[in-house]
Amino acid sequence: MIMFTPSTPYVPGTYAKKRPEAGRVAAQYVQEWEARRQRLSQKKTAAPEIPPCICFSRKVGVGALEVADILSRKLHMRVADREILEHMSGETRLDKETVKFYDELYPGKTVELSALLFGKKSFQMDDYLRNLVNAVYSIAAIGSTIFVGRGTHLILPRDRVLAVRLICSDGFRTERLASLLKIGAEEAGRTLSKIDREQKAFFKKAFGKKDAPASEFDLVVNFDHLADPRLAADVVARCFRKKFGIAAE
């Protein structure tokens, strides 16, 4: 199993995104799921319960990947971020047999999800969203996973998820991005505005939602007041263990 473990010690404020290439990781996840599919097909057993997962929803630039990587080491869980999910939903597709098996294993799940999200306005999901749902369930079924982005807390069974929202002020995000990319605050602000528009458009199209209310989540962490990613990871880890009855090591 691939784990995202930075090769250098973590130093607050100097996080370097030294992560495996998304395409390679996505391909590895696909291989793991397809191997699991074959084993389940041979046994012809009922759909296994989704292992407990953590789903991060965040304002882009708050530092969710930092927290996820720390948690990955602390809880021995894999990380699936937006980039990996994009590959699995687009470039590194699950093969047709896998998608067919998924539909048989979780019958009506995409229809059920569509109805849950859109109510009476339920409609057939487009190919991208359907592939995204398949990818999220496939990764989650392999083992406990930390998901970052793409509304995964809205896709997976709510009782199998610790849903966490990471927020901060625009000033915090702008300062952080400018520092990481070595650019001016004005350029960083423009970059974040563009990303925010794209994120908002995605959630409106995919889930029919304009925002992410606090009531959707188990926990909301405000980085303006809890800025240390290690402390945030400790809080999330404690909540995760308590919610799912997992003993601390």
Q: What is the pLDDT of residues 159-193, one digit of tens each?
A: 999 999 999 999 999 999 898 888 899 999 999 99
Structure tokens at 223: 């980085």
pLDDT at 222: 96
pLDDT at 170: 94
Residue 150 has pLDDT above 90, yes or no: no
Tens digits of per-residue pLDDT, 18-28? 545 655 665 66
Most confident of the ranges 20-29, 60-69, 82-91: 60-69
pLDDT at 227: 86
- Contact predicate 109/133, CB 8 Å: yes
What integer best gives the mean pLDDT of the chain?
76
- With cut-offs at 50, 70 and 90, classify the pLDDT of residue 209: confident
- With cut-offs at 50, 70 and 90, classify the pLDDT of residue 132: confident
